[in-house]
Chain A
Amino acid sequence: QVQLQESGPGLVKPSETLSLTCTVSGGSISSSDYFWGWIRQPPGKGLEWIGSIYYTVNTYYNPSLLSRVTISMDTSKNQFSLKLTSVTAADTAVYYCTRGRGVYLDYWGQGTLVPVSS
């Protein structure tokens, strides 16, 4: 059974960089069958696609976040990561890491709330 677990600081200050890591167990992130993505959900609001990374290490980002986001992977640790720069209060959200297959997301982490506040 595949499991994903987000980890990272519980609070980020405005203008700083938000960094999160997703640790995958029960499957290899190097598999060509899947891609790995980040989704976020502001409190009380809907889901927003952030971006994804494929086994080829190719990355694809939401155009609205393109200038601030980087997704990378560390196959030796079976982890992939998210960095979002120059954060503001609008970036406060629950951040989910996910596994994608084809054109859908079949496994999700439990999510981690990242408040942006001074």
Chain B
Amino acid sequence: QSALTQPPSASGSPGQSVTISCTGTSRDVGGFNTVSWYQQHPGKAPKLMVYEVAKRPSGVPGRFSGSKSGNTASLTVSGLQPEDEADYYCSSYVGSNNFVFGTGTKVTVL
């Protein structure tokens, strides 16, 4: 299974929105509504931000939202905050109880 494709970087000023894409195939992203997104600050463990494409766990701010169209999923961070600066990874179920992660995107708050 190949890693899902994400842009290496994205940026925005405080208060602006940034959208990160996650592109796979019909065998992963396009085949299941199972995309999740994880935020990782330097030296820390990843944290679940969105699951099953567009659901938010309790405690995750509403400015984080997910969507999917065809083989591409997206994470949008609206109203960027300084603490949103981190690496973001998408993940998708690929069948047979296996999962694959995206290549990761570094979000910079300008």
Please give the residue numbers on chain A whose beta carbons come within 8 Å of chain B beta carbons, in ascending order.
35, 39, 46-49, 52, 54, 58, 60-63, 96, 102-106, 108-111
Contact = CB atoms under 8 A, between A and B. Distances in A.
A73 B89 CA distance: 28
Contacts, number: 65
A104 B97 contact: no
The size class of the interface chain B forms with chain A is 20 to 34
Interface stretch (B18-26, B43-51, B68-76, B77-85): B43-51
Interface string B43-72: 011111001100001000000000000000
Interface string B17-38: 0000000000000001010101
A48 B101 contact: yes
Given A46-B102, A46-B104, A108-B46, A60 B52 contact: no
Interface of B: 1, 3, 32, 34, 36, 38, 44-48, 51-52, 57, 89, 91, 93, 96-104
B92 to A, nearest CB: 8
B96 A60 contact: yes
Contacts of A104: 34, 36, 48, 51-52, 91
A46 B101 contact: yes
Given A46-B101, A105-B36, 17 more contacts: A46-B104, A47-B104, A49-B91, A60-B97, A62-B1, A102-B34, A103-B32, A103-B36, A103-B51, A104-B36, A104-B91, A105-B38, A106-B48, A106-B51, A106-B57, A108-B45, A111-B45
B34 A103 contact: yes
A111 B54 CA distance: 27
